[in-house]
Amino acid sequence: MTIVKLSPSNLAPVTAGQRQQPDQVLSYLDSVTDRSRHLLSRAVKKFESGGEEYGIPRFIWSGPAGGGDTFRLGLFATLNGDEPEGAIALNRFISELEQTPERARGYSLFIYPLCNPTGFEDNTRLSRTGHALNRLFWTESEALEVRFLESEIWMQAFHGIINLRSDAESAGVYGFASGAVIAHALLNPALQAAEKYLPRNYQREIEGIPARRGMVYADIYNAARGALRAVPGLENPPFEITLATPRSAVVQLQVEALNAALLAILDEFRALQAYAQSI
């Protein structure tokens, strides 16, 4: 299987008001399910909006057995409908793993490339019902997209949650992490890998929060603003990371940066778990 080639339609900028089609980011993953040993299933949560039916797709990529516990990671993109770069990066990531499945030995990856299908179709940050989805998690929201994703987070009991974004106001790549340990052990290596393609955001403040070398320790902040995160109050919560690329950068570079960051997280989390088991 060849590495996924991003089509001109995926790479071309989309102007405000120009409608997009889900196949732009789903067709490759759909095609892989027909012939892959690892991309095992696709499930879609159906809901209606304005009399039309939409779905939130879920793909599950299972790596070779690792000889111990399987690490379950949830990878989310396009919560803001006008940020398709993360969804395209997930295509690139799966293409990489199809070529080198050993990179994900011992992992089950739950992939949600299109979390805001109506916002994506309309090329708007909000859903068509006017919801800012990434401000509504665990707030008893009635937004159907959020309720479905919350149920997935609850049922799958992820070891890690990764949210992919692009930021129109940032000049470099950066990330949020659920605490200093996760920032040091996982986020920083991910940003180092991404820096091969894009510069890092070294601003002292990102989205109104103090930042250090492109890293924001945002667990309390995320809880307060309803960001996508684990079920509140867990005794052993998963790691939570948000990766953001500068939207002004060439899309191909954003995709490569996010792919490199995700691969680095796989490597570092496996090493972190091995170290924890040895002490």
- pLDDT tens, 67-120? 778 999 999 999 999 999 999 999 999 999 999 999 999 999 999 999 999 999
What tokens does 165 get? Answer: 């974004």
Q: What is the pLDDT of residue 71?
A: 96
Residue 14 has pLDDT above 50, yes or no: no
Give CA separation, 3 vs 93, 94, 95, 123, in Å.
9, 9, 5, 27
Please indicate, yes or no, if residue 166 is contained in any of the structural domains: yes
Tens digits of residue pLDDT in 235-247: 999 999 999 999 9
Q: Is residue 1 part of a domain?
A: no
User: Which residues are CB-neighbours of 212 under 8 A, at least 6 positions away?
Assistant: 204
54 lies in some domain: yes
Lookup: tokens for 54: 């939409």
Q: For residue 263, tell me if it sits in a domain.
A: yes
Q: Cα–Cα distance between 237 and 224 in angstroms, integer?
A: 17
B/e letters for 81-98, b = 16+ CB within 10 Å, e = fewer, are bbbbbbbbbbbbbbbbbb
- Strands, E assignment, 51-190: 52-62, 71-77, 107-112, 160-167, 174-177
The whole domain housing 235 covers 16-278
pTM, full prediction: 0.91
The per-residue pLDDT for 274 is 75
Does a structural domain hold residue 217?
yes
What tokens were used for 109? Answer: 């990856």
Residue 144 lies in a domain: yes
Question: How does 13-23 read in b/e, with b if 16+ C-beta sit within 10 Å?
Answer: eeeeeeebebe
Domain count for the chain, please give it. 1
How far, in Å, CA of 185 to CA of 219, rounded? Answer: 16
State the pLDDT confidence band at 222, using cuts at 50, 70 and 90: low
Res. 1 pLDDT band, cuts 50 70 90: very low
CATH, residue 243? 3.40.630.10
Q: What is the pLDDT of residue 221?
A: 55
